Structure formats: structure tokens, C-alpha cells
Amino acid sequence: MKGRKTLLIDDKNIIINFDVVNKKWEEIKAFGLAYEAIEITLEECKKLNSEITIRLTDDKEMKILNKKWRNKDSSTNVLAFPNNKKLNISDHSKHIGDIIISFNTIKCEAIKRNISFIDHMIHIIIHGVLHLCGYDHIEKRDERTMISYEKIILNKIGIKDPYISYN
């Protein structure tokens, strides 16, 4: 699983680099669904022909990164680092950014919300890709827009609306 994975869909080159840090991620058999969700998200954002890196880690590393980059001394489910165009990165670069996801937090949230781990993982990946495409949820209006895109994309791949309680 470690290393570069490339997906070609309809002649649109999407490169997804999975960096598996926590071995528990290797037990997950949903990377095909992750590719589909990423492709649909990038299509919605009009960012096909893009490259992203997804680091699959744990709470220990996530807490360190969250402290360093957001000054929050706790783990989180996802961190997204869009490509900073102010750096001297070639305009020809397709790399739009990096996403980091914590296995432990995703698992705990899925259990707490009574949803499947895979559905929640896919939702969080979509959320991270939307951040790479320039969406955020700082303002309420922006949050509603981002949630709307999440619901549209999740519906396209057959995952129920995560904002409705299914307990």
C-alpha cells in the first residue's frame, strides 16, 4: 500500500499518494471507494488532473502536527495543507496539497456517531480534499456551502448523509 498510486479516469490524470504510517490503515479495504470519492470531489471543484498526498497516521502524530500548525494540543480527524502558491513551485505542478488523517480519531468518531468506519473515513477524505480546493468552514455561510458539497459527493457514492442521526 505504501507509495504512489495513480488513477486514470476518462483521460483525466489524478495522482493520489498514500503515505501509510499507522499499520492499522493497511487493514482497511476501501481505497477504491476513496479514489472514487476523491475523483468526484475534484470533478465538483473543477480540479481534475491534480495530485494529492494522503498521510494515514494515528493520534500521536496528529496531536504533534495539530500543535505545530494550529497551536491546538489535541488530536483531530483531519488536517489539510493546500499547496501554497506563494512558494516557488512550478506553475506546471499538479500537486494541490496534502491531507493527514488519524485512524484513532476516525474510529472513535464513527463509534460515537454509530456510523461505519469506512463511511466516516470517506467523508473525512472528501472534507480534506474540499479544503485543498479552497473551501473552509470558518464562516457559517462557507460551512453551509462545504457541507452541501460533502452531501452531494457522499450521495453520489452511496454514503448516507452524516449530518443526520441514524442511532
Secondary element (H or E) of residue 104: helix 103-113
**Is residue 166 in some structural domain?**
no
**Is residue 30 in some structural domain?**
yes
**φ, ψ for residue 7, nearest 5 deg:** -125, 125
Range of the domain at 113: 3-156
Give the pLDDT score at 31.
Answer: 77
**Is residue 81 in some structural domain?**
yes
Q: What percent of the chain has pLDDT over 70?
A: 85
**Is residue 52 in some structural domain?**
yes
**Is residue 25 in some structural domain?**
yes
Tally the domains of the chain. 1
Comparing 1-10, 37-46, 94-103, which segment has the lowest mean pLDDT?
Answer: 1-10
**Is residue 102 in some structural domain?**
yes
pTM attached to this predicted model? 0.86
pLDDT digits (tens, 9 = 90+) for 27-57: 887 777 888 899 999 999 988 888 899 999 9
What band does 12 get if pLDDT is binned at 50, 70 and 90? low
**Is residue 164 in some structural domain?**
no
What band does 92 get if pLDDT is binned at 50, 70 and 90? low
**Is residue 163 in some structural domain?**
no
Q: What is the CATH number of the domain that holds 126?
A: 3.40.390.30
